[in-house]
Amino acid sequence: MVNQDEYGNLFGKWQIGEDTWCITNRWQNFIYLLIGEEKAMLIDTGSGEGNLRDFVENITDKPIMVVNTHGHFDHTGGNSCWPDAWMKKEAVEYAKEPFSPLHQEWFESKPYPDYQIHELSDGEIIDLGGRKVEVIAIGAHSEGSIALLDYNLRALFTGDEIESGQVLWFVRDRPLPVKEIAAIHKRNMEKLLTYRKKYDWIWPSHNGVPLLPDPYLEDYIALDQQIIDGVAKVAENTGGLGFPTETQKAGGPFAEYGNLTRAEYRRASVIYSEEGYEYRRKK
Ligand SMILES: [Zn+2]
């Protein structure tokens, strides 16, 4: 069972720095393992497929601290392999809400579905032993999003708030008008720029890693401003890498969010719902 999900797919891993691994599942969710002298930080846990704990414990024998970039279930599903997880306060509410009955099954088959959640705060520094990681609050895609800045590797892990495919803005726990989300996202990107001397690469959770920081931050800030000003270029088709149009049709996982729009500028792309459709909780 080690290294396989329920379909027989393998987890994959590759080393991206000293004592640092990127782990991925069949959906190419990128999970990161940062190994310090005292403990290791696991950034996100996938959707709960397979036995992530066994897989991780084959890489390191250090105690694992699970940290979630935000509370969406494709980042928290595997948390139930461990008794504790750390995340920002706003992520707690929806961190245990599976996207499907299959996710629920995976989640409940692990030893700690009632795992304890500990809250992280903006600016907090986590010491892994000879390796410090700073928590930077950047919630826009999701209210509880954080970036994690690894001083040693000079790497910034950004969850779903920056990526090469598209940043989804319609999956917030509490919907907002698109211009308000754009303003929040822009402030967050500018906040990451203030830390710019401390990292060389950005490592998102989906759709291609790593990203060169300056072009992406610059393009996302420009796109956010264009959306605020009502002049952003809208794509004819909402489909993209990791976000096929099939998923938006009736019966697909994104069909319930109403009419979606893709706005683009150079390397930046966001998808939003004009109707500000409320993210439907499963329970
Ligand atoms: Zn997300």
* Domains in the chain: ranges and CATH: 12-222 (3.60.15.10)
Residue carrying structure tokens 């999956």: 171
Please report, for residues 42, 107, 118, 279, the alpha-carbon distance to residue 96 in angstroms, rounded to integers and kept in the order given: 18, 9, 14, 15
For the segment 168-187, what is each residue's pLDDT rounded down to a tens digit? 999 988 888 999 999 999 99
Please report, for residues 103, 133, 200, the alpha-carbon distance to residue 168 in angstroms, rounded to integers and kept in the order given: 21, 26, 25
pLDDT exceeding 70 applies to what percent of the chain?
95
Query: Which DSSP letter does residue 264 get?
Result: E
DSSP 181-225: HHHHHHHHHHHHHHTGGG-SEEEESSSSS-B-HHHHHHHHHHHHH
Tell me the CA–centroid distance for residue 104 and ligand 1, in Å: 17
Residue 185 has φ and ψ, to the nearest 5°, of -60, -40
Tell me the CA–centroid distance for residue 271 and ligand 1, in Å: 13
Tell me the CA–centroid distance for residue 199 and ligand 1, in Å: 23
Report the C-alpha dihedral over residues 73, 78, 80, 86, rounded to 10 degrees: -70
pLDDT average, residue stretch 60-71: 98
Report the interhelical angle of 178-194 vs 213-229 (nearest 10°): 150
Residue 172 has φ and ψ, to the nearest 5°, of -65, 155
Tell me the CA–centroid distance for residue 162 and ligand 1, in Å: 11
Residue 254's pLDDT is: 82
pLDDT average, residue stretch 54-63: 96
For the segment 90-136, what is each residue's pLDDT rounded down to a tens digit? 999 999 999 889 999 999 999 999 999 999 999 999 999 999 999 99
Tell me the CA–centroid distance for residue 171 and ligand 1, in Å: 7
Say yes or no to pLDDT of 34 above 90.
yes
State the average pLDDT for the chain: 92
Say yes or no to pLDDT of 29 above 90.
yes
Tell me the CA–centroid distance for residue 141 and ligand 1, in Å: 7
Tell me the CA–centroid distance for residue 75 and ligand 1, in Å: 7
Label residue 10 by pLDDT band (50, 70, 90): confident
Tell me the CA–centroid distance for residue 130 and ligand 1, in Å: 30
What CA–CA distance (Å, rounded) separates 139 from 117? 18
Label residue 252 by pLDDT band (50, 70, 90): confident
Label residue 281 by pLDDT band (50, 70, 90): very low
Label residue 26 by pLDDT band (50, 70, 90): confident
pLDDT average, residue stretch 36-41: 98
First-to-last alpha carbon distance for the chain, in angstroms, is 31
What CA–CA distance (Å, rounded) separates 257 from 249? 10
Say yes or no to pLDDT of 278 above 90.
no
Residue 31's pLDDT is: 98
Tell me the CA–centroid distance for residue 168 and ligand 1, in Å: 8
